[in-house]
Chain A
């Protein structure tokens, strides 16, 4: 589903050059649920931005769903984001002026779907996350957990092949965290690939595979020197 080979992402300023991703390679199979962990500055967010085609990369190769997406135009990247990728953010990223229904509608609008089709998809997605009765509420009228469920409904309505979740439970209490993780698990069971960045070992434990990043690279915990390993474990706990 997602294959990165030797991907590099370098941020340059006049004074310094920062290698956010350094020779980054990763293969996520279709239908997998992968948790990505690592300390702050390890490159998790950069990886997620590159994986989600929200940012370009400096070198390497990236295949998404079998398609080489290394050198696409901005419009082509937008199209793939719209059709193949769903995003779940830590801060929910709902549009505050729009009702729940209209928030879920946003990606469908850019796909150019007919009104009836959009309505069916939105209603089904809201039903799946248990928020049908809140369709006419504004985000500010919902709890954090409900807002995240709206964000997940927005993803579900688009029926993407890949979900990229950036600390989806970071702003939630334990009860709501469990609800959201249950929801993500159910979605994954339907065959959708999920890559989730998280600091929480409990959440990561619910993924099928855990990947650890350090200094812009995927590291093998078992092979890492003991001191580094300890530091890594402390940083993510």
Chain B
């Protein structure tokens, strides 16, 4: 019966082609706009590491000024980063299966002379756990080990773009790269890795691409590295210079831990105990306010999705609803014009439900055709949006039309068909059959 209803619906669409085109066009427009902006929001809001986002936790502690809270929209929030001295201490626990403090630094890269001049590059300082913890894919080689962390050994991991620049895309494992005044051996080359949100560090622009070079964190001291990210302080360092910064209350380190199974609670207890100890030593003057949050909780709290993008997505969905409601009138007129045929069908034994389903199928057919056209238009729109995003964020193809969004677009199309068609279908299925049989 469903196929029969589809055939009847097709005949109906052919009967009044212009009206059918207007209705299909309305659905297509609504779906194109809503899909485009929903996809854009989805790109920013989706889980960047779904396989592990519930076990990866971002760590914060409130070592801020006792007189006033850490500045921001929400006074209950602790600082977004932790101090170096706290990172060193809390990394002594073995409760997390993996952990890494991290920051980024602006360093001079010296390519071969025939490639180009020295240039400033952003380098991310990490511990060896960073790569497996965030499931970062490698094209060649791998990350380094704990011995290289401790050394620290002069090793680096570079991304494919840097590898293309320095080594023409060849397997460069074992080759050396000069950064500042040191030679570093390449131990790994990353495969394409472009999370839509740079979730491991959202303290600045969460939409900037990952860094191109990763170095052992412990080069911090020998190279006296400065952070290229945010650095929040409320108290003068006890010592001058670089060493003073390391023992200061200035927070500039992002701290991640991997806590599978039931390790989160013991880790939180450990952290509370640590802060308690520090309080006894005169630090952490504010009330205990530790945060150990899974990826998505943390990203939501940090409002990684800009409000404007959410607003655009909501407005686009309202636009679709308005399209559907406008089409309701057209469909009602179209269906009521067919009252004599409905009278005949009812006389021949069609139940109200049969008539309702017949017309809903027609609406859904319109929605499927309109939705397909709308999705095609939205793909073109997404390409335009990506170009725009590329211009302002320097990131290609951040907005991806994935299967989830395809499902959403199909769902929206069917819902729009239902919204537009339910009332007209209900009206025509209640037409009294006897009235129209004489005038067919």
Interface residues, chain A, with chain B CB atoms under 8 Å away? 45, 49, 52, 54-55, 74-75, 78-79, 81-83, 87, 89-95, 97-98, 106-107, 109-112, 154, 158, 166
Contacts and interface: CB of A to CB of B under 8 A. Distances in A.
Contact of B15 (A55, A74, A94, A97): A97
Which of A82, A106, A158 lies at the interface centre, i.e. has the most chain B CB atoms within 10 A of its CB? A106
B349 A79 contact: yes
B12 interface: yes
| Closest 9 pairs (CB-CB, A-B) | A82-B349, A54-B434, A107-B348, A110-B349, A49-B434, A97-B11, A78-B351, A93-B440, A55-B434
A85 to B, nearest CB: 9
B337 interface: no
Contacts of A106: 344-345, 348
5 contacts: A81-B347, A81-B349, A93-B440, A97-B12, A106-B348
Interface in B411-440: 432-434, 437-440
Contacts of B440: 89, 91-93
A109 B4 contact: yes
Contact of A109 (B1, B15, B343, B434): B1
Nearest to B4: A109
B350 A89 contact: no
Contacts of B11: 97-98
A107 B352 contact: no
Contact of A110 (B351, B437, B438, B439): B351
A99 B361 CA distance: 21
B340 interface: yes
A180 to B, nearest CB: 18
B349 A54 contact: no
B347 A87 contact: yes
B351 A83 contact: no
B437 A93 contact: yes
Nearest to A167: B438
Interface string B382-412: 0000000000000000000000000000000
B340 A75 contact: no
B344 A110 contact: no
B347 A95 contact: no
Which of A78, A81, A89, A109 lies at the interface centre, i.e. has the most chain B CB atoms within 10 A of its CB? A78
A75 B15 contact: no
A153 to B, nearest CB: 13
A89 B347 CA distance: 11
A112 B432 CA distance: 23
Contacts of B12: 97
A82 B438 contact: no
A232 B262 CA distance: 96
Interface residues of B, number: 27
A111 B349 contact: yes
Given A45-B438, A97-B12, A54 B347 contact: yes
Interface in B12-29: 12, 14-15
B196 to A, nearest CB: 49
A54 B433 contact: yes
Nearest to B349: A82
B352 A75 contact: yes
A95 B352 contact: no
A100 to B, nearest CB: 15
Nearest to B341: A95
Interface string B291-335: 000000000000000000000000000000000000000000000
B438 A91 contact: yes
A52 B354 contact: no
Contacts of A107: 348-349
A166 B344 CA distance: 13
A117 B288 CA distance: 79
Which of B1, B349, B352 lies at the interface centre, i.e. has the most chain A CB atoms within 10 A of its CB? B349
Nearest to B14: A97
Contact of B348 (A45, A75, A92, A154): A154
A78 B349 contact: yes
A55 B385 CA distance: 59
B346 interface: yes
Nearest to A98: B11
B434 to A, nearest CB: 4
B438 A74 contact: no
Nearest to A83: B349
B326 to A, nearest CB: 26
Which of B4, B344, B346, B438 lies at the interface centre, i.e. has the most chain A CB atoms within 10 A of its CB? B344
A87 B350 CA distance: 14
Given A81-B349, A87-B437, 9 more contacts: A54-B434, A75-B351, A75-B352, A78-B354, A81-B347, A82-B348, A82-B350, A106-B348, A110-B345
B206 to A, nearest CB: 56
Which of B4, B341, B345, B351 lies at the interface centre, i.e. has the most chain A CB atoms within 10 A of its CB? B351
B348 A110 contact: yes
Contacts of B433: 54
A89 B15 contact: no
Contacts of A78: 346, 349-352, 354
Contacts of B352: 74-75, 78
Given A54-B433, A54-B437, A55-B434, A95 B351 contact: no
A55 B347 CA distance: 10
Interface string B111-153: 0000000000000000000000000000000000000000000
B349 A95 contact: no
Given A95-B341, A97-B11, A97-B12, A81 B434 contact: no
Nearest to A106: B348
B341 A74 contact: no
